[in-house]
Amino acid sequence: MDCIFCKIANGDIKTNKVYEDDKIIAFYDLEPKAPTHVLIIPKEHICCADELNESNCDIVSHIFSKIPSIAKDLSLDGYRIVNNCKENGGQTVFHLHFHLLGGTKLSGDFA
């Protein structure tokens, strides 16, 4: 499967990593939409939030359990977590990921 985030997860594509463990990796977004913009992905390929179910959703709590320490390492005093799901939700890379945005006072807009 030709998935750019799988290639990042398995080390075929180098990124500017901010966190990694056996299940997830966090790295800087190539086109930041905020002063600090990091993507957090599971190493396992899951297309999108719409593909989550009872058998694979533990990864989401694992990701969220690591967000406070990732945010602290990035000195974020408040942040936004975003997930775009499928094309109509604005998703462009079809491997589940959460955007972690901060470094400024973000606007209240969602779209």
Strand ranges (E), the chain: 17-20, 24-28, 36-42, 79-82, 98-102
92 lies in the site for ligand AMP, by CB under 6 A? yes
91 lies in the site for ligand AMP, by CB under 6 A? yes
Please tell me the distance from the alpha carbon of residue 47 to that of residue 95, in angstroms, as a whole number: 4
**Residue 18 binds which entry of Zn ion, ligand AMP, none, CB below 5-8 Å type-dependent:** none
User: How many secondary structure helices (H) and strands (E) does the chain include?
Assistant: 2, 5
* x-marked contacts with Zn ion along 34-63 as a string, rule CB under 5 A: -----------x------------------
Site for ligand AMP in 6-25 (CB under 6 A): 13, 15
CB of 1 to Zn ion, least distance (A): 7
Distances (CA, A) of 75 to 35, 39, 43, 102: 12, 16, 25, 9
Site for Zn ion in 81-110 (CB under 5 A): 95
36 lies in the site for ligand AMP, by CB under 6 A? no
